[in-house]
Amino acid sequence: TLVHAYKDAVRAAALAGCTQVEHGTMATDDDLKVLADHGTYFDPQAGLVIENYLANKERFLGTQGYTEEGFAAMERAVSLDHDIVRRAVKIPGLKVVFGTDALAGSHGRNAEEFIDRVRDAGVDPMSAMVSANSLAAEAMRMGKRIGSIAPGYEADIIALDGDPLEDITAVRRVVFVMKGGVVYKNVGCGAIPIPR
């Protein structure tokens, strides 16, 4: 069971047997330790949702529920989101994963979550890659089918113009995509086309 929880509800969700908690804003380190102790996955979504709203304020402002006061609260929440990621990755055994918060208008922004976690929250780039791939697959109970490049696994594969372990913004420069066995290329970023 996946739940969206904040503050004390984070601990309550883990104690109730939920398998994954989204957001977790204002959870304490003790709350995060309870998640780790119960094997509960945690997706803080630090840069995916709120920063998308802030970057696209003009598109959302005035629609139902999006007010100036709400945007001011989002501005304050950004530092809380970075803080929860910084603290979460230091909790032994806590499984921090990537998710989508799919209804929040942030489709196609997952690369920004990598950048946010690494640049703004201090996450190791390889840990971020594992978090988004094999660990996220494990959280969905699909770890024996997806999330890794291995014989017999289904794989959608990308190649980047740059090394994300050295420059995390390379995740914005996708030059090769294979999805469902079909190869697509995007060489507009200056990469050399891959011969077939």
Q: Which whole number is the average pLDDT over 18-41?
A: 96
- Look over the chain and give the mean of its residue pLDDT values, rounded to a whole number: 89
Residue 189 pLDDT more than 60? Answer: no
Say which CATH number the domain at 93 has: 3.20.20.140
Per residue in 46-81, pLDDT (tens digit) is 777 888 889 889 999 988 889 999 999 999 988 888
Check whether residue 60 and residue 42 sit in a common domain: yes
Residue 110: which of 50, 165, 45 has the closest Cα? Answer: 45
Confirm whether pTM is higher than 0.85: yes
Check whether residue 65 and residue 106 sit in a common domain: yes
Check whether residue 165 and residue 143 sit in a common domain: no
Q: Which whole number is the average pLDDT over 134-152?
A: 95
Say which CATH number the domain at 181 has: 2.30.40.10
* Largest CA-CA distance found in the chain, in angstroms, rounded: 54
Q: Report the alpha-carbon distance of residue 129 to residue 118 in Å, rounded.
A: 10
Per-residue model confidence (pLDDT) at position 187: 73
